[in-house]
Amino acid sequence: MTKIALGSCSRGDLPEKQLWNEINDQKPDLWIWLGDAIYGDSDSLSTLQSKYQVQKSNPDYQKLIAETPVIGIWDDHDYGVNDGDRTYPLKRESRDLFFDFLNYPQDHPDRDHEGAYQSYTFGPEGRQVKVILLDARYFRDPLGRANQDANQRYYPDPEGQLLGEVQWKWFEKELRSSKAQIHLVICGIQFLSNQHAFEKWSNFPKERDRLLHLLSSTKPSNLVLISGDRHIAEFSEMALSSDYSVFEMTTSGLSHTWENENEEKNEYRIDRVISRNYGLIEIDWKNPSLDITIKVKGPKNKTLMTHDL
């Protein structure tokens, strides 16, 4: 059995609200940050660094990183500015601080390129999980403010870029060259949901169409799209063809979520819950088949949602 735990939206100044004890109880083989590992929201590098230190000094988080490999991608609050984009002047320095927080060595290969995107393949041949971490901040075009009365925070940009061409080419190569049995494609913001007012891939419809076309043409085996950001947990699914669908797990947040129920629409939704939560992927490597169970867990390790892929 392989266990991969994931989460986002964690305020270091709310240690009593964190779920590290529950996560440690799972004894995961890997922990993946999905963004907002801190709420830095500053153009001061010292402020970002000090908030990373608060998070990192939490004894329960220290226990996790002492026993479990940790990787991750950022979102806006650990990037440095709420809903931030390519115009953030300290993005390279902020990226380096984020990698430092993850304990990546100075010779880590992903320090050599712009942006924070990464890819890893775990496990022996025949039992491999490929994790692709997409950076939706460093290269992203700014969004135009929309009419709040129309229940949209931003106008969609029909020609705007989200990943940037270099990252797109890298992403396609990672998919087409993969021989893994399971694929986790991760980004801070939601992939499928296109009706809520906040940040999402559909704010860049050309980019979202490109993503769905790439997934439809490559058909990665046992694909799970994973996102954070929303302060809810949600399962969504979209059919790309008669024989291929994509499933998305959104898991957010580790320390705080919405306080009240919201009637937000999502035409692709399977299920949703509002509670502090983290994600857990359990892989039973049976031969010749394998079982993949996707869970959202909450306080006291209560299972809030579950889905068999």
What is the average per-residue pLDDT within 211-228?
A: 98
Token output for 168: 């797109």
Extents of the domains making up the chain: 2-308
Which pLDDT score is estimated for 249? Answer: 98
pTM of the predicted structure, to 2 decimals: 0.97
What is the average per-residue pLDDT within 262-280?
A: 95
CA 158/CA 248 separation, integer angstroms = 23
Mean pLDDT value across the chain: 95
Report pLDDT digits (tens) over 56-112: 999 999 999 999 999 999 999 999 999 999 999 999 999 999 999 999 999 999 999
Ramachandran region of residue 298, left (φ > 0), alpha (ψ -120 to 50) or beta? beta
Pairing of strands 278-284, 269-273: unpaired
**pLDDT at residue 202 above 90?**
yes
Which pLDDT score is estimated for 148? Answer: 64
Q: Higher pLDDT residue, 287 or 204?
A: 204
- Percent of the chain predicted with pLDDT > 90: 91
What is the average per-residue pLDDT within 135-147?
A: 90
Which pLDDT score is estimated for 250? Answer: 98
Indicate the SS3 state at residue 307.
Answer: strand
Q: What is the DSSP letter of 93?
A: H
What is the average per-residue pLDDT within 110-132?
A: 97
Q: In the CATH hierarchy, which top-level class contains the domain 2-308?
A: alpha beta
Residue 288: band (very low, low, confident or very high) from pLDDT cuts 50, 70, 90: confident
Which pLDDT score is estimated for 263? Answer: 80
What Å distances lie between residue 274 and 5, 15, 189, 265, 277, CA to CA? Answer: 19, 19, 17, 14, 8
What Å distances lie between residue 35 and 49, 79, 96, 126, 265, CA to CA? Answer: 16, 9, 15, 30, 23
What is the average per-residue pLDDT within 226-246?
A: 97
Residue 15: band (very low, low, confident or very high) from pLDDT cuts 50, 70, 90: confident
Token output for 263: 């009637």
Residue 150: band (very low, low, confident or very high) from pLDDT cuts 50, 70, 90: low
**pLDDT at residue 118 above 80?**
yes
CA 275/CA 293 separation, integer angstroms = 20
Which pLDDT score is estimated for 104? Answer: 98
Q: Read out DSSP for 225-279?
A: EEE--SSSEEEEEEEEETTEEEEEEEE--SS---SS------TTEEEEE-SS-EE
Q: Which of 128, 217, 204 is nearest to 159 (CA)?
A: 204
Tokens 């479990």 sit on residue: 68
